[in-house]
A and B are shown apart, each in its own frame.
Chain A
Amino acid sequence: MCSIRIRVILTFIVWVSAGWGLSAQAADITISLVDKSGKPFEGAVVSAIPQFEFKRPADNKIYNMSQVDKVFSPHILAIPQGSMVSFPNMDNITHHVYSFSKTKRFDLKLFKLNTPEPVKFEKTGEVVVGCNIHDWMLGYIKVVPTHFIARTDKKGKTTLSNLPAGDYVVEIWHPRFKDKNKNLMKPLALSANKETTVEFSLKKPLRASPDLTETDEDDY
């Protein structure tokens, strides 16, 4: 219990000092995203990866990917590298959450009430999460090497605020994207106190959105 409290306090101190330290030279990045047909795309994971020596503040936050009504919630979870993710079961049935992704392979054996230990994601990349019992359950965990993470809104826009000035690579990601990485990443030099806008436009059509609802076919 004590260690946890200390850690929380420490985190807070780091966060405050950093905010303060950067506040003088902080800047915002506004990102907008349209698909191939020009429509705003919602829900894309946007991350800005500093290209300079940047000490991320310590972060002990435990992310959650719950199982609610046999659906992973959230469907897409974007976390900074090294974060912990917990998979609490909100249903009153048993789930068997696993991932065969190279980024993180894990296998949370059948569990119901007792939430298993959180999983730490140390590599960057995508992790496809499934349930061995319910085949349609599908979740994505995007592990990025930054904590500057945002999601596009309905207008396909989002803003990363209070970023220290410097060079960044802005990357967008979504499981439906088929575009090559080159098109999904953009380098950017961020100047202090200056709002920078990055616009993304997809060149390839989107993948079909996966059916995340229960299907008869797989109902066993």
Chain B
Amino acid sequence: MHSLRNKIVIYFTTLVISVIAITLLSVFNKSKELAYKNIQEELQVGARVLKEKLLSRQVLLQSAGNAISKDFYFQQLLISALEEEEENQSLATALLNQQKRADADISMVFDEEGQLIVGGQTELFENWELSKDVFVNQLSDKPDLVLVMYDNKAFQLVISPIKAPLTIGWLGLGYAIDETFVNYIKQITNLEISLLLGQSTTNKTISATTLTDNEALAFLDESSWKSYRGSPDIFVVSRKEYLSYSQVYELVSSGSVQFVFQRDIQKALVDFETLTALVTFIAVVSIFLAVAGAFSISSSITRPITELVQIAKRIGAGEYSLSINIKDKGETGELAKEFRTMQSQVAEREEKINYLAFHDAFTGLPNRNHFEQYIIDLIAEDSKSTSFVLVAVCIDRLREINDTLGHDAGDELVKQVGEKLQTLEGCGSCSIIGNDQFFIIFPDHTESDIDLISQRILVLSNESVKVKNVALDVHIRAGATIYPSHSEKTQTLMQYADIAVGVSEIKNTFFSIYAPSSNQNSIERLALMSELRSAIGRDELTLYYQPKLDLKTSVVTHVECLVRWIHPEQGFVNPDQFIPYAEQTGSIRALTRWVVETAISQHAKWLKLGWDIKVAVNISTVDLLDPKLPIFITETLERYSVPASALVLEITESAVMSDPEKAMETIDHFSCSGFKLSIDDYGTGYSSMTQLKRLNVDELKIDRSFVMDLPNNKEDEIIVRSTIDLGHNMGLSVVAEGIESQEAMDVLREWGCDLAQGYHISRPAPEEQINEWLSNCPYEIVTTTKPSQNNASSS
């Protein structure tokens, strides 16, 4: 209903119909009015014609009357009649003769005083009382019509004086106003004429009429009359309507007669009906044309619009290849043209958006969307027979490159690696996921192809990549998962590949394949991670302390503080299980802070017991990048009134090596703050001599893997001894951990190792147990110089 076309059609149709209706109505009314007016004029003309006819008959009568009245012999007869009564008969005969000659209907002779002497139909005039004045009046310039009535008949009369030579009498000569006369007038005027006698409505009679008997009968019935413009001028009989007009003539005696002229309205309206029919026909044709025109025009407007609407809908649905064939030179054509432009532009933009949606903005490599779409398509192809291998590849140490060569170089590296990965044999899709990770799909590969794939990736990773004219070695780790044997779900596969990479990282290997067990662990770990933060607040964490023994003096000088998580449901949680994830999620910061504070407070407690045991705390890679950590440590030390020298920060060599520049900067900062720094797990981190030299640290801690097999392993002996020498030469104290036998401790003492740590001395133990151990151990404990604590230290 609200469409443009309907609106236009309804508007124009309504307009045209209203205009035509008004026009028709006016034409009908006006034509009817005009018809009535015409009829009224015709009626009035008829009345005038009748009067003229009466007057012309009067002239005829006057001529005839004059002729008769001046006839000498007629005068003689009159004189005779006046003198002798018996002579009336002669006069009457002569009069009748003259009447016939004049073709008149009645005639009569009056004496000078107006007394009737003889008349053609004498008996008709017995009751007449005409005065002489009436006769004299006939001699005036404009004589009135003399109408007389007798026995329901009307006559027109002319009175002529009979002069001999003075007036001796009067001659009356008349015509009857009868049916012949009214019919004669009807012939001229085409009107119905009735002569009505009598004054009162009840007493009316029709003297002469052109109407039929029935009509004449109805004529006298008041109910046959309808009002027109206030006067009962419409005479209705047998479904015919006559418009009427009356003309009244006074009788010479008394009273009046009335001529009623009538015209059949229907007959008069015939012409107007023809006109009306023509106008109606024109109106109908106009309405038809207008409606058709409105339809046509509105359609010509709305059809292209409707088409454009359809096209717009289809463009909206993503069809851009539609041909818009609207040939119009007007606005619609312009619109169609704009639609074409819009269509191509939208297509272009969508292509661009699509590209952006499915490609990484920086490297131009396919992105995760692309990957997911690819994998969905792949699975959808034929889920039963298809199998593929999904490999997640992660670039190691990308940050290092970003920091040293800039992010564009990093991007370039990622891009080149991605491009290389794409060229791998059997690679179906290689998408970049995150900053440094790729998902590669090897379609139609199965578990048996894993080694092959691993080899291919390894080969690739051995090639160096040239970025900004710098040849870079690419360190990558990979993890694989297999569809459908591991999972049939994309998201799960992605997760499994991630887990596999994680496993590679943890195991410090190049390639791992997903194993459901690792998944089980990882899921548990993930669950734990979410609980770690609350665990810190809930005292689920505990510090375990492992003593460090001064080999020269056999004094326990330090303890390494190791965090333990006793989960209320899962029990003991290995640090290896949550520390790496704490590092990944950032909760390590809070963890480290908790460890630091607990360690310092413990130191303070021991100080109160008189023991001056320094506490060593492990600092992770993430902590190294935390600029607020040194401030926190300083504040905590102050809070517990503990000197900085009481705290040793242990940093793994690999943590330092992952970002040596930054690490050195932080280490310098710590060192300046007065903390002792120790390189933990030394020997596993590929640090060069140069780097070691530059590190502002106090202690080297030889990795347990070198110590555990001492003194039996000669290779380890060489490494340990040279490391001790190296450390000493660089002015560092050297700590050996992982001492599990007296022999190992002995050779280490012999080799000059400064501190020893290991199960042989003591397993890591919580506060209560370590206190007990400290109290009962065979070693001495550094005591405070304070006298109050001397007792304690000596004990």
A interface residues (Cβ-Cβ under 8 A, vs B):
96, 98, 100, 102, 105, 128-132, 135-138
Contacts and interface: CB of A to CB of B under 8 A. Distances in A.
B79 interface: yes
B166 A132 contact: no
A27 B163 CA distance: 43
A135 B70 contact: yes
25 contacts: A96-B72, A98-B72, A98-B164, A100-B75, A100-B76, A100-B79, A100-B164, A100-B168, A102-B83, A105-B79, A128-B164, A128-B165, A128-B166, A129-B165, A130-B163, A130-B165, A130-B166, A131-B165, A132-B72, A135-B70, A135-B163, A135-B165, A137-B165, A138-B165, A138-B166
Contacts of B70: 135
Nearest to B78: A100
Nearest to B168: A100
Contacts of A135: 70, 163, 165
Contacts of A130: 163-166
B205 to A, nearest CB: 39
B748 to A, nearest CB: 185
Nearest to A138: B165
A209 B72 CA distance: 24
Nearest to A105: B79
Contacts of A96: 72
Contacts of B76: 100
Nearest to A210: B166
Interface in B138-191: 163-166, 168
With a 10 A CB-CB cut-off, give which of A100, A130, A132 has the most chain B CB atoms.
A100
Nearest to B75: A100
A105 B80 CA distance: 11
Contacts, number: 27
A131 B163 CA distance: 11
Nearest to B165: A130
Contacts of A128: 164-166
Nearest to A96: B72
Tell me if B's interface is mostly helix, strand, loop or mixed.
mixed
Interface residues of B, number: 11
A207 to B, nearest CB: 11
Nearest to A136: B165
A70 to B, nearest CB: 12
B165 to A, nearest CB: 3
Interface in B72-100: 72, 75-76, 79, 83
Interface string B655-699: 000000000000000000000000000000000000000000000
Interface string B215-239: 0000000000000000000000000
Task: Pick the 6 closest A-B CB pairs, nearest first.
Answer: A130-B165, A100-B79, A132-B72, A138-B165, A100-B164, A128-B166
B654 to A, nearest CB: 162
Nearest to A130: B165
Contacts of B166: 128, 130, 138
A16 B553 CA distance: 236
Interface in B48-84: 70, 72, 75-76, 79, 83
A143 B387 CA distance: 175
Contacts of A138: 165-166
Given A105-B79, A135-B70, A136-B165, 12 more contacts: A96-B72, A100-B76, A100-B168, A102-B83, A129-B165, A130-B165, A130-B166, A132-B72, A135-B163, A135-B165, A138-B165, A138-B166
A138 B83 CA distance: 22
Contacts of A137: 165
Nearest to B166: A128
A129 B164 CA distance: 8
A23 to B, nearest CB: 43
Contacts of B165: 128-131, 135-138
A102 B164 CA distance: 12
Contacts of A129: 165
A79 B795 CA distance: 217
Contacts of A132: 72
Interface in B388-417: none
A129 B402 CA distance: 167
A137 B163 CA distance: 11
Contacts of B163: 130, 135
A131 B168 CA distance: 15
Nearest to A99: B164
Contacts of B79: 100, 105
A134 B431 CA distance: 150
B169 to A, nearest CB: 11
B692 to A, nearest CB: 170
A132 B72 CA distance: 7
Interface in B414-449: none
B699 to A, nearest CB: 173
A78 B120 CA distance: 41
A137 B70 CA distance: 13
A102 B76 CA distance: 12
Nearest to A132: B72
A98 B70 CA distance: 13
A105 B168 CA distance: 14
Contacts of A136: 165
B72 to A, nearest CB: 5
Nearest to A102: B83
Instruction: Name the residue in B72, B75, B164, B165 with the highest tally of chain A Cβ atoms < 10 Å from its Cβ.
Output: B165
B163 to A, nearest CB: 6
